[in-house]
Amino acid sequence: MFSSLKNESGFISKALNNKLVRFFMSAGIATLADVIIYFFVINFLFEHQRVYFGVYSASAHTLSLCVSYSCGVAVNFAITKYAVFNESTLAGKKQFSRFALIAFIGFFANYGLLRLFVEVFDFYPTPSRITSALSLGIAAYYIHKFFTFKIEST
């Protein structure tokens, strides 16, 4: 009985030592925060209604994405910086500016996928948000590893 527990804890320890596993755990936590915020904002703040700003308007799913994505980026940066790529030699401000740049590009990729799923394929907004976020995860790992949190040689 105890030997199986020891093997399980060894597996968990090995998994947590793997940077890719930690990256996806941090991204998962940030995505969970993003999706929960998205759900509450679209359902309770905007109530699935278009939002008007004078002569301009935006869909509830677009504005909800802006709010939730911004919160998710902040959560993701903090966890990724301290739990995944903590050996990076770049200054924190430089890391954040690079992270924000990648997040900005990622926002438009997410936005394009979200619009495709919701407006073209007529899928529900929250599952569409989850799908768009998951589909961009692998690319994000390598971009952050080799650009955002790279280790500069001395």
Q: Is residue 1 part of a domain?
A: no
> What is the domain range of residue 116?
19-148
> Among 123, 106, 42, 112, which Cα is nearest to 69's?
106
Q: Is residue 139 part of a domain?
A: yes
> Tell me: the pLDDT tens digits for 68-90?
989 999 999 999 999 999 888 88
Task: Please tell me whether residue 1 adopts helix, strand or coil conformation.
Answer: coil
Domains identified in the chain, total number:
1
By the 8 A CB rule, do 28 and 137 touch?
A: no
Token pair of 139, please? Answer: 């690319």
By the 8 A CB rule, do 85 and 27 touch?
A: no
> Tell me: the pLDDT tens digits for 111-134?
899 899 999 999 998 898 888 877
Alpha helices by DSSP H, listed for the chain, are: 2-17, 19-40, 60-79, 92-115, 125-135, 137-143
